[in-house]
């Protein structure tokens, strides 16, 4: 995310509103035009009338709606055709063979909002697909969707997909895959998952609503969930039910137990009237399927859980605690069945992604400013001061105290967001004795240590980029315990003293030594030379043992490649060099499911040998690229 320091506006002009079309990109309200123009009687002279008549005679007698190539547009692929395409997709997925599909030459495919080649990701690991799923289609948009479950290396996963058909071929595939992890989220019994058949049943004419009304009703659902404070905007049927990741979150669980909202209140409307979902700071969304005949609307989007507060109260006075203490988002596909103008059934598939992640089908994200690093203009002491100032400003969200450049790039876990959001709103304390490595050559400083989010500790590796005397960019990597091993709860960052001159290694030699390690990982070979006998490798504080022995074990072999390697900072006096990299880990190498890790990795050199490696990583959707 890039921002001007004067570009902070009220929430009425935020990204969510712009993506919903309410405001322009510069924050001004977007004008809405009525379908029936105002009638104004102009003064017309005889000469003017004749001139107008002649002009009309010379003009083409044809027009169509803005953005449409013709006033008549008959879909080349009807509903049955689209359903056939989505079923073909599921059969090809089950066979792990995309060549069975009729794909456009420029087909684009995402898994959890990351563009990867068709045939990668889940295509490499799927072992079974449900025989039937919830299906929906819209010939006017060329989209079809499927909701259900799959097996991945024998383990169940909840799955939904959108396909788009153009000129008789699939040119877009957008999938959401939810795997069972340590993060709190519904996960149903896939052996007994039942999709409501009403989604495929045609409604009597009197129970249908026009396309625009179906869109408005479904969108009102998201308005109700967004900043849920008890106000209900959407019309709900008395028997409204919701299936999320294969489990009912509106029907009371057996015995009243359970961790989802149904244990607090049953039914759609009752939950929203209590304000259970107040953590939803914003919902970015759009709709790609509207089926008037069946009363079905299908949308996609993100729920942004800012978690700027640790506790909140329901409208009945009951105090609730947030399940997670840090900013996170869920990406979803969600289907609504609307009958008699009321929401009757809801089915959603969603999974966690980094906070404020972008859907690439909505367009490209912004590029980093050209002056992101001004090398040599800020010495080591200057860089240390900037890093210290940034970290101090995180506590209690004092971002205004930082001396920002005119244009600033900011990212958390490789997603660009606006300064003042994300961990700015959650960090309550920072490490008193962090490791800070500065480098005037790169114009960067990296701060490594412990942070607390509403009191809960986590590892942080924060890279601060200098724009001379000002801060020009920040790349924040955060690792929390809920993502599992490898992880040791931080007490303080690593510490290294300056080495005697005779034991120091110059910058070029440190880079060469680190690159040997990465080349050995990518080549899946034996340990490279240059590793000291006593070298130990730590990941998120957890000791993985001897560095050389790690190359003979299974851990490094799960990494398909280490890419986008970037030297953040080198400190010859302490024998330190810090890299930022991305590790692609396919599921078929033993990890269970595909993932990518963003890594900040520190190498300690002594007499030309690597004596310690400290890595800190954050789990990202598979194939995710660095924020540039």
Query: What is the residue-wise DSSP string for 536-553?
Result: EEEETTEEEEEHHHHTTS
The mean per-residue pLDDT over the stretch 346-359 comes to: 97
List strand residue ranges (DSSP E) for 80-131, in order. 103-111, 114-115, 126-129
pLDDT higher than threshold 50 for residue 55? no
Rounded Cα distance, 299 and 282, in Å: 15
Distances (CA, A) of 168 to 92, 95, 97, 98, 108: 17, 22, 19, 16, 15
pLDDT higher than threshold 70 for residue 411? yes
Q: Torsion-angle region of residue 518: left (phi > 0), alpha (psi -120 to 50) or beta?
A: alpha
Give the tokens for residue 390. Answer: 């940034």
Class for the domain spanning 79-362: alpha beta
Letter string b/e over residues 291-328, b meaning 16 or more CB atoms within 10 A of that residue's CB: bbebbbbbbbbbbbbbbbeeeeebeeeeeeebebbbbb
The pTM score is 0.88
The mean per-residue pLDDT over the stretch 194-213 comes to: 97
Can you give the residue ranges of every domain in the chain? Answer: 79-362, 380-620
Rounded Cα distance, 133 and 135, in Å: 6
Rounded Cα distance, 186 and 522, in Å: 36
Decide if 561 contacts 585 (C-beta within 8 A).
no
| Kind and range of the H or E run holding 404 | strand 404-412
In this chain, the answer to whether the domains covering 79-362 and 380-620 adopt an identical fold is yes
DSSP annotation of 76 reads S
- pLDDT tens for 361-402 read 998 876 555 545 666 689 999 999 999 999 999 999 999 999
Quick one: how many helices (H) and strands (E) in the chain?
9, 29
Angle at Cα 254 formed by Cα 251 and Cα 258, nearest 5°? 80
- pLDDT tens for 486-520 read 999 998 878 999 999 999 999 999 999 999 999 99
Decide if 283 contacts 300 (C-beta within 8 A).
no
- pLDDT tens for 85-122 read 999 999 999 999 999 999 999 999 999 999 999 999 99
pLDDT higher than threshold 60 for residue 597? yes
Residue 78: the pLDDT is: 97
- pLDDT tens for 247-302 read 999 987 665 444 567 778 888 999 999 999 999 999 999 999 999 999 999 999 99
Rounded Cα distance, 9 and 220, in Å: 24
Q: What is the DSSP string of 448-488?
A: EEEEEETTEEEEEEEEEEEETTEEEEEEEEEE-GGG-SS--
Q: Which residue has the higher pLDDT, 335 or 23?
A: 335
Architecture of domain 380-620: Roll (3.10)
């Amino acid at each position: 995310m890039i921002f001007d320091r004067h570009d902070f506006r009220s929430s009425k002009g935020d990204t969510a509103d712009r993506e919903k079309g309410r405001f322009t990109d510069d924050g001004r309200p977007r004008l809405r035009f009525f379908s029936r123009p105002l009638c104004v009687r102009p003064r017309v002279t005889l000469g003017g009338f004749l001139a107008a008549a002649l002009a009309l005679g010379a003009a083409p007698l044809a027009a169509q709606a803005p953005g449409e190539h013709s006033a008549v547009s008959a879909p080349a692929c009807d509903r049955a055709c689209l359903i056939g395409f989505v079923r073909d997709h599921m059969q090809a997925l089950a066979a792990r063979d995309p060549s069975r599909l009729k794909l456009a030459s420029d087909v684009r495919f995402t898994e959890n909002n990351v563009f990867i080649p068709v045939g990668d990701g889940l295509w490499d690991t799927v072992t079974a697909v449900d025989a039937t799923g919830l299906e929906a289609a819209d010939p006017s948009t060329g989209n079809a969707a499927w909701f259900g479950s799959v097996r991945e290396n024998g383990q169940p996963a909840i799955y939904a997909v959108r396909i788009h058909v153009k000129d008789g071929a699939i040119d877009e595939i957008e999938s959401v895959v939810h795997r069972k992890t340590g993060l709190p989220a519904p996960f149903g019994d896939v052996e007994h998952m039942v999709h409501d058949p009403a989604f495929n049943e045609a409604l009597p004419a009197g129970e249908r609503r026009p396309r625009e009304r179906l869109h408005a009703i479904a969108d009102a659902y998201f308005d109700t969930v967004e900043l849920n404070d008890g106000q209900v905007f959407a019309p709900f049927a008395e028997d409204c039910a919701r299936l999320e990741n294969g489990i009912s979150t509106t029907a009371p669980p057996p015995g009243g137990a359970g961790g989802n909202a149904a244990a607090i209140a049953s039914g759609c409307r009752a939950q929203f009237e209590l304000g259970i979902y107040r953590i939803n700071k914003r919902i970015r969304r759009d709709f790609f399927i509207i089926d008037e005949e069946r009363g079905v609307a299908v949308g996609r989007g993100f729920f942004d859980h800012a978690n700027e507060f640790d506790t909140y109260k329901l409208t009945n006075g009951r105090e609730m605690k947030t399940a997670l203490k840090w900013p996170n988002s869920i990406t979803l596909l969600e289907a609504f069945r609307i009958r008699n103008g009321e929401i009757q059934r809801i089915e959603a598939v969603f999974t966690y992604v980094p906070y404020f992640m972008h859907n690439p089908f909505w367009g490209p994200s912004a590029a980093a400013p050209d002056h992101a690093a001004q090398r040599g203009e800020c010495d080591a002491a200057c860089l240390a001061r900037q890093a210290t100032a940034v970290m101090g400003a995180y506590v209690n969200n004092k971002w205004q105290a930082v001396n920002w450049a005119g244009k600033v790039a900011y990212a958390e876990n490789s997603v660009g967001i606006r300064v003042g959001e994300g961990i700015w709103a959650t960090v309550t304390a920072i490490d008193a004795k962090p490791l800070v490595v500065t480098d005037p050559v790169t114009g960067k400083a990296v701060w490594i240590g412990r942070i607390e989010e509403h009191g809960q500790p986590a590892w942080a590796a924060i890279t601060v980029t200098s724009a001379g005397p000002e801060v020009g960019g920040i790349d924040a990597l955060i690792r929390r315990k809920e993502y599992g091993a490898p992880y040791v709860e931080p007490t303080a960052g690593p510490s290294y003293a300056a080495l005697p001159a005779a034991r120091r290694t110059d910058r070029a030699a440190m880079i060469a030594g680190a690159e040997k390690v990465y080349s050995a990982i990518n080549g899946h070979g034996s340990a490279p030379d240059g590793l000291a006998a006593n070298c130990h490798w730590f990941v998120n504080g957890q000791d993985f043992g001897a560095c050389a022995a790690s190359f003979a074990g299974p851990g490094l072999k799960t990494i398909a490649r280490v890419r986008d390697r970037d030297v953040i900072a080198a400190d010859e006096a302490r024998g330190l060099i810090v890299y930022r990299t991305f590790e692609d880990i396919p599921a078929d190498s033993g990890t269970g499911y595909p993932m990518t890790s963003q890594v900040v990795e520190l190498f300690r050199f002594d007499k030309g040998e690597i004596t310690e490696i400290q890595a800190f990583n954050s789990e990202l959707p598979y194939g995710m690229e660095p924020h540039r």
